[in-house]
Amino acid sequence: MSVSRSSATVLAHAKVNLCLHVLGRRPDGYHEVAMLMQQVDLADRLQMTVADNGKIRSSCPGLVLADGEENITTRAARLLLDHVGAACGVTIEIDKQIPQAAGLGGGSADAAAVLLGLNRLLDLRLTKEELMKIGLQLGADVPFFLFGAPAWATGIGECLEVCPGIPSCWLVLVNPGEAVSTAWVYQNLRLTGSKPAVKLPKFSEGIGGLVRLLHNDLERVTIGKLPVVAEVKQALVATGARAALMSGSGPTVFGLYPDRGSAADSAQTLSARTDWWVRVVKPLS
């Protein structure tokens, strides 16, 4: 197999869940969900280089990554190389900007970036649909990061439909410096019964319609373990956010703002008053 290039740099953009409804638990242990997901301009940067020794190595300066198959980027590379029968290896260096275990999809985004990067490096010409099918074997969120648009996600998160017309806004992301396991959050979610299906949202009322959409069934579970999440929500609203919501399983919270100026003012205030990780980001369309 020929290699078109020896190295490539790929951005892995974070996501936020503008809404997250857990509809019920399936017999296989997974949960049926209905979510609106959108990527933002916060991103990890992955430098990938093809190696001729057949080995796959991932590193991240400043962080100790899990070894071997425990690392999702290593698993992503192995899965794709085995899928196409390639004997080469790859080294992956991650410049990590997305906080870990934060509800922003950093691990899934990195896995998707590896699939995209190898597809480019090895000139595989796999389609988006083929990559998404491979990505689903790594995690339910991975196909979204290959989808390329804001998406209404159903099933376990793998059934994706383009969600057009999301109102323009700016976000302030705040992480209080804690981490929480997505698996733990779902394991501790108490469902009183199956919820009815939630329909794909339509927007006709600008940012007000987006504010009314915000919802996260996992929030109460994470707040029970990390009460600081509720404190972050209150602080964002107090500094001008139209609304605030935890993303995914948390503990990162985002505040919703109509323009960059108001978002930047809020972020500056929170950075001065706290030791929380704070970033102003723009959703990607």
pLDDT in tens, 154-213: 999 999 999 988 999 999 999 999 989 999 999 999 886 666 667 778 777 788 989 999
Alpha-carbon span 258 to 54, nearest angstrom: 50
Q: Which domains does the chain have, with CATH numbers?
A: 7-162 (3.30.230.10), 170-281 (3.30.70.890)
Over residues 113-138, mean pLDDT: 96
Question: What does pLDDT average to over the chain?
Answer: 92
Q: Choose, from 44, 110, 141, 217, the residue flagged as catalytic.
A: 141
Query: What pLDDT is recorded for position 66?
Result: 65
Alpha-carbon span 211 to 148, nearest angstrom: 24
> Out of 115-119, 199-203, 271-275, which region has the weakest mean confidence (pLDDT)?
199-203
Residue 63 has pLDDT above 80, yes or no: no
Does residue 76 sit in helix, strand or coil?
Answer: helix
Phi/psi for 248 (5° steps) reads 55, -135
- For 89, the token pair is 């290896």
Query: What pLDDT is recorded for position 3?
Result: 46
- For 170, the token pair is 């700016």
Query: What pLDDT is recorded for position 69?
Result: 60
Query: What pLDDT is recorded for position 202?
Result: 79
52 is catalytic: no
CB-based contacts of 192: which residues, under 8 Å, 6+ apart?
Answer: none
Find out whether 254 and 242 touch, Cβ atoms under 8 Å: no
Residue 4 has pLDDT above 60, yes or no: no
Query: What pLDDT is recorded for position 2?
Result: 41
Find out whether 206 and 167 touch, Cβ atoms under 8 Å: yes
Query: What pLDDT is recorded for position 1?
Result: 38
The alpha-carbon radius of gyration of the chain (Å, integer) is: 19
Query: What pLDDT is recorded for position 142?
Result: 97
Q: How far is CA 285 from CA 140, 221, 282, in A?
A: 21, 30, 9
Q: Choose, from 15, 110, 217, 233, the residue flagged as catalytic.
A: 15
pLDDT in tens, 28-51: 888 999 999 999 999 999 999 998
Query: What pLDDT is recorded for position 280?
Result: 98
Residue linked to tokens 């959409």: 213
Give the CB-side neighbour count of residue 114, counting CA atoms within 13 A: 32
pLDDT in tens, 68-87: 567 899 999 999 999 999 98
141 is catalytic: yes
> Out of 22-31, 82-91, 213-222, 226-235, which region has the weakest mean confidence (pLDDT)?
22-31
pLDDT in tens, 8-34: 999 999 999 999 999 988 888 889 999
Q: Give, as one character, the DSSP assignment of residue 214.
A: -
CA dihedral 224, 226, 230, 233 (to 10 degrees): -140
Residue 233 has pLDDT above 50, yes or no: yes
Query: What pLDDT is recorded for position 67?
Result: 59
pLDDT band at 120 (very low <50, low <70, confident <90, very high): very high
Over residues 257-264, mean pLDDT: 97
Residue linked to tokens 């329909």: 199
Q: Give, as one character, the DSSP assignment of residue 41.
A: E
Does residue 12 sit in helix, strand or coil?
Answer: strand
Query: What pLDDT is recorded for position 53?
Result: 85
CA angle 105, 108, 109 (to 5 degrees): 80
